[in-house]
Structure 1
Amino acid sequence: MTHPTPIQLAAIPAALEGRDILATAPTGTGKTAAYALPMLHRLLKARKPRTLLVMVPTRELVLQTARVFRACLGEGDTKQANTRTHTPPIICLYGGADRDEQAAELIQTGGMSRILIATPGRLLDFIGTGTCDLTDCFQLVMDECDRLFTHEFEEETRTILNYLPTPRQTLAFSATMPAACKAMLASIVHKPLELSVEKPPEERPAIRQGVLFLEDEQKAAFLKTFFGRSPKTRSIVFVRTKAEADVLAATLKKARLAVAPLHGDLTQDKRTSTVASFGSGRLFILVATDVAARGLDIASVTQVINYDVPEQPETYLHRIGRTGRAGQKGSALTLCSGAERKRLRQVEVGAHVKLRVLSTEQALPPATPSGPRAGAGKPRPKTKGA
């Protein structure tokens, strides 16, 4: 990208001036660079050691954000990059990784200008043990702030805020900014500049959105038929709970499909390897909880399936935002039972969409030519002379 995006044009000058910002912009519009570039500039110009803190809700988003910061600093995506003396170290704090290693990084960089990119739980852990001192934090970014103020993270987020000094510069970014979230932020930011940027219609990803009415007991069978027809369609199936992700992934795996679950109970190594396998094409289907809707950026995802109707319009938008990325076309299919119809209407109104009602045959992909399914069976043994 050689030209700044609309959110970058709007946010960077104000951030450089030290203003607080509340910014709303769709996924894929360059939000991370919109705060990383000006905040890094101010950190590098600081006359004494300072801490820049970026709080995000998921481990995946920590790692993705760190990659953007390293790119802004002109560094490669390696641990060795943090050993260079001319740039502030980037420290990633999240659960599921080696706690002692993270603690050592915090101790070694004490008294230095540094960038902390953290999930609330792990950061609060280090604050509680005295390993992380935030008295020198003069910049705070809350990315995906709408989720940071849900019941899942609100208590931890507010506790961390009590440890931060004032005055400070605070930036809150998200793809959606519900009224309840904005009300919570009112006491945290000071005379903020409010920005709301949308993609121009011609730049919006072409996502075909539809709904298929099925009862809960019919949904798994439908998915087996769906992926049996098109086993190499790179897809994410979203479910509500970790247990549902495991059960559904096991069901699809029995149908000899290249599938794996993705949720918060997996170890970080397992989650990283699963995402890597999905990105490289060794896996074609992820059955994921909403933890994967934040920070999972794989351009070639062509299909998102909501196994259930999300409870919030914002969740629906984050889920379908995993497809149609980088200018590619995508499809989003929601499976809706009779008990979920009221929730479907709430999602349509809140997300400003009208889902096309599909028949079962319309919802299924065209049948592919007969052949072995992805991940099915073992490769044929080589014949002599091959």
Structure 2
Amino acid sequence: MQFDTLGLSPRLITALNDQGITDPTPIQTQAIPHAMAGRDVMGLAQTGSGKTAAFGLPMLDALMKNGRKAEPKTPRALILAPTRELARQIHDTLSAFAQGSHLKLALITGGVGFTPQIERMSRGVAILVATPGRLVDLLDRRAVDLSKTEFLVLDEADQMLDLGFIHSLRRIAGLLPKQRQTMLFSATMPKLMEEIAGAFLTDPVRVQVNPPGQAVAKIDQWLHYVAKGAKTDLLIELLDKHRDELAIVFGRTKHGSDKLARQLEAAGYAVAAIHGNKSQGQRDRAIAAFREGEVRVLVATDVAARGLDIPGIRHVYNYDLPNVPENYVHRIGRTARAGADGTAVALCSPDEMGELRDIEKAMKAKIPVASGAPWEGVSEPAARPGANRGGKPRQGQGQGRPAGQGRPGGPSAGQQPSRRPAQVGAPGGKPAGQKPRRPAAAPRRRTTAA
């Protein structure tokens, strides 16, 4: 199927062709016809599946056909996204599609001053892309009026719930007119999503392309069991094998991400870090340098797990495994964009065995092992999402060692992932069948947050 068979206007088809986009993705093929017919849509699809065009193209088509001028403070369409990075990506993508038309777009997110955003809204915009928190701030200042909004989109709705935006969403819902078209897109479907769907959608059509929690098929995944103190050395060994390619490294904490970025910079890498403590300008400059190849390695927290759409990212490293299992899929979804191939490597220390089990349970698949073996003596279940954000080992964890290994780190700790998992030998890296040495004392735990 081609875009011109979906009923879109010739102007939009030309805009797509100018950007080299000719074939719709599965989520676009399923969602666009329903949206063009005016139906509410609930879409389940992973990041990188083309959701922005799935909801953006039919919305732009309807707004272009109606030449009504935008009124001050009153957007005709509202798109909500959980993070600044995703909001900016949506804004930039739709701006390219709408180039040359009468439609004006505005981006409203935190990290910048209120005055320029208030002035922008006063001049009138057709499409407002916003994060919920900053939108509520402008509503409180009476800088935005949603009483005449005709289209509403909730993108990555599950992450908005994870980030605690439920109260903001409820308030926004009460200010919108009942007669509108609403589209909700999410990568997972938690129970609370049913409440959100009931509050925002009317008789929606449900479309789904990938089962929730399933990673993109073209991502080659590998797992290293490695002691926490050996993670940085292993990461540098792996990065050295593709210094000319873009890689993103995910850490758990802001402080740990800054520390890791400094270590990689000392090792000779062009590196930048982004996280919640960085200003919007710092985050934008870091991403721009990464996109242009001036920076080859981007160290980030989960603020970049969704919304970072850079086709050139070939490698994703989970330096720290995420507390929320679903975020693993979103993290590795930064690679293998637009049909390309990509590699995702996870580093698992003893205190992360619970997170690893939860991730594999959510994906309903095991991650192939590249080196090391599962850590022994770690049987506690993972903490509740968000309960271990400080990065410290949970009580009773961090004292294990790989099954059959004489010391933490396992054999060939810097082994490059291959298409076939490495064969782990006997304890201490000796050939299978050789008598193992007496086990060493349990290693002292490293408590530095990563």
TM-score tier after normalising by the smaller chain length: 0.7 to 0.9
Residue 235 of structure 1 aligns to a residue whose secondary structure is strand
Deviations 1:347-382 (A, max 9, x none): 11211321011216375449xxxxxxxxxxxxxxxx
1:355 to 367, 370, 375: 367
Distance 2:58 2:99 in 1: 15
Partner of 1:162: 174
1:41 to 61, 67, 80: 61
Kept after mapping to 2: 8 A contact 1:213/1:335: yes
Identity of aligned residues (%): 39
Which structure has the higher relative contact order (CA within 8 Å, separation 6+)? 1
Partner of 1:19: 39
Q: How many angstroms does 1:208 deviate by?
A: 1.4
Residue 143 of structure 2 aligns to a residue whose secondary structure is coil
Partner of 2:92: 67
Q: How many angstroms does 1:232 deviate by?
A: 3.3
Partner of 1:140: 152
The answer to whether residue 80 in structure 2 is matched with residue 55 in structure 1 is yes
Kept after mapping to 1: 8 A contact 2:133/2:168: yes
Structure 1 counterpart of 2:126, one-letter code? R
Q: When the two structures are aligned, how many residues end up with a matched partner?
A: 350
Q: How many angstroms does 1:68 deviate by?
A: 2.2
- Change in CA separation of 1:225 and 1:13 when aligned onto 2, cut-off 3 Å: closer
Structure 2 counterpart of 1:309, one-letter code? L
Structure 2 counterpart of 1:361, one-letter code? S
Partner of 2:206: 194
Structure 1 vs Structure 2 CA RMSD: 2.3
1:312 to 305, 310, 324: 324
Partner of 1:236: 248
- Change in CA separation of 1:24 and 1:283 when aligned onto 2, cut-off 3 Å: same
Please identify, of 60-69 and 154-163, the stretch whose mean Cα deviation from structure 2 is larger: 154-163
The answer to whether residue 290 in structure 2 is matched with residue 270 in structure 1 is no
- Change in CA separation of 1:329 and 1:12 when aligned onto 2, cut-off 3 Å: closer
- Change in CA separation of 1:216 and 1:181 when aligned onto 2, cut-off 3 Å: farther
Give me the TM-score of the superposition, normalised by structure 1. Answer: 0.84
Q: How many angstroms does 1:229 deviate by?
A: 4.9
Kept after mapping to 2: 8 A contact 1:25/1:196: yes
Kept after mapping to 2: 8 A contact 1:142/1:172: yes
Distance 1:7 1:221 in 2: 40
Partner of 2:108: 93
Partner of 1:372: none
Kept after mapping to 1: 8 A contact 2:82/2:163: no
Distance 1:226 1:28 in 2: 25
Residue 358 of structure 1 aligns to a residue whose secondary structure is strand
Structure 2 unaligned runs (5+)? 1-20, 372-410, 418-450
The answer to whether residue 343 in structure 2 is matched with residue 331 in structure 1 is yes
Kept after mapping to 1: 8 A contact 2:224/2:413: no
- Change in CA separation of 1:107 and 1:297 when aligned onto 2, cut-off 3 Å: same
Structure 2 counterpart of 1:306, one-letter code? N
Residue 153 of structure 2 aligns to a residue whose secondary structure is strand
- Change in CA separation of 1:116 and 1:211 when aligned onto 2, cut-off 3 Å: same
Kept after mapping to 1: 8 A contact 2:216/2:333: no
Kept after mapping to 2: 8 A contact 1:205/1:328: no
Kept after mapping to 2: 8 A contact 1:61/1:295: yes
Residue 340 of structure 1 aligns to a residue whose secondary structure is helix
Partner of 2:126: 114
Distance 2:162 2:210 in 1: 24
Give me the TM-score of the superposition, normalised by structure 2. Answer: 0.72
